[in-house]
Amino acid sequence: MKEEWILCPVCANKTRDRIRENTILINYPLFCPKCKNVSVIRVKDMEVCQVTMQKRSIVH
């Protein structure tokens, strides 16, 4: 079974999530540890489609 890392739709870096050939995600909140963005995505047939994006605020 084929398996791939989900890439961030904003910065194209690897996230902490993987998908397989049979994975279906609808309105999945994908967090990118590199750019700190949360993107809502859909996945079907190994194709990632970005629905919305929100900037995550970091409080120091």
- d(CA 54, CA 45) in angstroms, rounded, equals 25
Task: Decide if 21 is inside a domain.
Answer: yes
Task: Decide if 19 is inside a domain.
Answer: yes
Task: Decide if 60 is inside a domain.
Answer: no
**Tally of structural domains, the chain:** 1
Task: Decide if 35 is inside a domain.
Answer: yes
Task: Decide if 43 is inside a domain.
Answer: yes
The boundaries of the domain holding residue 11 are 3-55
pTM recorded for the entire structure: 0.79
pLDDT averaged over every residue in the chain:
89
Backbone angles phi, psi at 30, to 5 degrees: -100, 120
Task: Decide if 8 is inside a domain.
Answer: yes
Note the pLDDT of residue 38: 92
Note the pLDDT of residue 3: 94
Note the pLDDT of residue 55: 67
Backbone angles phi, psi at 9, to 5 degrees: -70, -15
